Amino acid sequence: MKIALAQLNPTVGDIKNNCEKIIMYIKEAKKANMDLIVFPELSIIGYPPKDLLYNPDFLESSYSALNELILPETNDIGVIVGTATKDKEKDYMLHNSALLLYNGKIIGQADKTLLPNYDVFDEQRYFEPAKSRTCFDFKGMRLAVNICEDIWNDKDFWERPRYDIDVLEEQYKLNPDIFINISASPYNLGKQELRTKMVKQISKKYKLPLIYVNQVGGNDELIFDGNSFAINSNGDRVVNLRSFSEDIAFVDTENLDELKPLQEIKEDISWVHDALILGLRDYFRKTGFKKAVVGLSGGIDSAVTCALAVKALGRENVLGVSMPSRYSSEGSKDDARDLAQNLGIQYRVIPIEDVFKSYISIFNKDGNVLGDLAEENLQARIRGNYLMFISNREGYMVLTTGNKSEIAVGYCTLYGDMSGGLAVISDVPKTMVYKLAKYINRDKIIIPLSTIEKAPSAELRPNQKDTDSLPPYEILDDILKSYIEDDKSISEIVSDGYEEDLVRDVIRKVNNAEYKRKQAAPGLKVTTKAFGVGRRMPIAQRFRP
Angle between helices 330-343 and 300-313 in degrees, nearest 10: 10
Out of 19, 21, 135, 148, pick the active-site residue: 148
Show the CA angle centred on residue 530, arms to residues 525 and 533, nearest 5°. Answer: 95
State the Cα–Cα distance between residues 482 and 472, nearest whole angstrom. 16
State the Cα–Cα distance between residues 14 and 23, nearest whole angstrom. 14
Q: Which positions ≥6 away from 426 have C-beta within 8 Å?
A: 400, 402, 403, 404, 407, 520, 521, 523, 524, 530, 531
Out of 21, 41, 221, 286, pick the active-site residue: 41
Angle between helices 430-440 and 300-313 in degrees, nearest 10: 50
Nearest 10 degrees: Cα torsion 358, 359, 365, 371: -120
- Is 41 one of the catalytic residues? yes
Helices (H), 145-224: 167-172, 191-206
- Is 306 one of the catalytic residues? no
State the Cα–Cα distance between residues 422 and 522, nearest whole angstrom. 5
Q: Which positions ≥6 away from 138 have C-beta within 8 Å?
A: 1, 36, 78, 100, 102, 107, 108
Out of 21, 112, 191, 525, pick the active-site residue: 112
3-state secondary structure of 202: helix
Phi/psi of residue 86, nearest 5 degrees: -80, 145
- Is 221 one of the catalytic residues? no
8 A C-beta contact, residue 351 and residue 342: no
301-335 as b/e: b if 16+ CB within 10 A: bbbbbbbbbbbbbeeebbbbbbbbbebbeeebbeb
Give percent helix, percent strand, percent coil of the chain, each to the nearest 5.
Answer: 40, 20, 40
**Which of the residues are catalytic?**
41, 112, 148
